[in-house]
Amino acid sequence: MNLKAKILLLAILPLLSAAGILSYLGLTHAHSLATQILGVYEQNLIESKKQALKEQVELAFSAIEQIRRNETLSEEEAKSEVIALLSQMTFGEDGYFFAYDQQGINLVHPTIPAFVGQNLFEFEDRSGNLLIQHLLNAANSGGGYHRYIWERPPLMQQEDKLGYAMLIPDWEWMFGTGLYLDAIYADIHQVKQAIDDNIRNSFLTVMLVLLFTVILIVILGLAINLHEHRLADDRLRQLVKKFMRLQVNERRRFSRELHDGINQQLVSMKFRIELACKKLENQTPEHPAIEDLQKTEQILNQTIQEVRQISHSLRPVLLDDLGLESALRGLLDQFSERTSIQVKLEYELCKVDLPDDVGTTVYRLAQECLTNIEKHADASHVKLRLYSADKEIHFEASDNGKGFNLKTAQRNGIGLVNMKERVEVIGGRFVLHSEMNNGAHILASLPCK
């Protein structure tokens, strides 16, 4: 892992850690707060239901008292009317009243008439709760509440129920009503579900914001990294261009020194040896030193040719003295004379002032192309074209040779790799096309400046 990736990771990890800790603490606090809120809500809801039950019982008690105060009715008649009244009084979907005497004998039960007249003092619900005894105790204590399990009409399913009972004075009757708690549980569950949804949505929002932040950091990091890479590439390209200019200038200087210095001295030595040979031949034709001097002259001729070749390889004299077009035409003429391959040059840069590095690159590309064609192409015709378009210099080279496999050539062809690198170093583009038995085509696009 490189340094920039480590720095980016160091920026993201603390953010993720802090977000994870804050999210955990937030969720824990939210669930704790939700539990407290639900507890308070349940308590308040049950208290409101208790108050409603008490009001229903007090309302029924008022109606009972009116019957009891009716002096035209005997006590038995009043009790009968009270029983009839309680049997008919309902509220809501499943609200009804019940009544028992102190021995636990049922007096009123609209939903289960079979209970009327039965002693339910020892009756237990499924949890073992002696509910009639508890209701009697609550009523005898001035009125009170009790929770138990009872069958709910019309399906008669057993559910939790909250009952309120009070005493009818003088008669010692306990009567009351109840409220099934499933509605309360449903309300609480709905509120809990809403709170959980809110917590989950808040958590998802935080996660989305965190994810967006991480993505933004990564994108910014990559953008900065890419920008720095581009700046570094630009600086490197400028340095390479500067180096190439220095290299070209140094090659030019060294080539000049070889040509004008060492080469001239060698030529001067050759002339002096020729002069010495002539003098010896005139004085002593059979002098043994003449043969040695002639061999030395031959060696000097070879040395002069090699020095000229090195000087030309370092920096073509024609490129400096006559320009790129003349240098290319001279190169093509030498190639055609040596190989008997027909060559054609289309030079369309008459009014374009080329930088030294671009001109040198074009010349070296032409050299490398001709070398590859001579060695591998088995071609009979070669065409070079040089033109400007879209603020670029375009160099094209094509032949009618046997072509080659691009993958193999790009993997093993050192000359092609050198050409591609030479073009890209000065900010250009290099494209190669070739098919078996269909020749090859090279396009290099170079910047004008």
Residue 8 has pLDDT above 70, yes or no: no
Q: How confident is the model at residue 313 (pLDDT cuts 50, 70, 90)?
A: low
What pairing do the DSSP bridges indicate for beta strands 381-389 and 342-347?
parallel
Name which of 76-80, 275-279, 359-363 the model is least confident about: 275-279
292: Cα separation from own chain's centroid: 81
Percent of the chain whose predicted confidence (pLDDT) is above 70: 92
Report how far residue 278's alpha carbon sits from residue 338's, in angstroms, rounded to the nearest whole number.
36
Provide the pLDDT for residue 297. Answer: 80
Residue 87 has pLDDT above 80, yes or no: yes
Residue 113 has pLDDT above 70, yes or no: yes
Torsion of CA 430, 431, 435, 441, to 10 degrees: -80
Q: Summarize the confidence of residues 287-316 as an average pLDDT.
A: 77
pLDDT, tens only, 142-198: 999 999 999 888 778 889 999 999 999 889 999 999 999 888 888 888 888 888 888
Q: Summarize the confidence of residues 189-216 as an average pLDDT.
A: 85
Q: Summarize the confidence of residues 358-382 as an average pLDDT.
A: 88
Helix (H) or strand (E) holding 413: none
Q: Summarize the confidence of residues 432-448 as an average pLDDT.
A: 88
Report how far residue 246's alpha carbon sits from residue 24's, in angstroms, rounded to the nearest whole number.
63
Name which of 109-118, 120-129, 212-221 the model is least confident about: 212-221
Report how far residue 276's alpha carbon sits from residue 18's, in angstroms, rounded to the nearest whole number.
95
Q: Summarize the confidence of residues 427-447 as an average pLDDT.
A: 88
- Domains along the sequence of the chain with CATH: 46-180 (3.30.450.20), 317-447 (3.30.565.10)
**CA neighbours within 13 Å on the CB side: how many for 214?**
16
Q: How confident is the model at residue 96 (pLDDT cuts 50, 70, 90)?
A: very high
Q: How confident is the model at residue 409 (pLDDT cuts 50, 70, 90)?
A: low
Cβ atoms of 17 and 214 closer than 8 Å: no
Q: Summarize the confidence of residues 357-372 as an average pLDDT.
A: 87
Cβ atoms of 426 and 244 closer than 8 Å: yes
Residue 211 has pLDDT above 70, yes or no: yes
Provide the pLDDT for residue 133. Answer: 96
Q: Which residue has the higher pLDDT, 95 or 214?
A: 95
Q: How confident is the model at residue 412 (pLDDT cuts 50, 70, 90)?
A: low
Q: Summarize the confidence of residues 207-233 as an average pLDDT.
A: 82
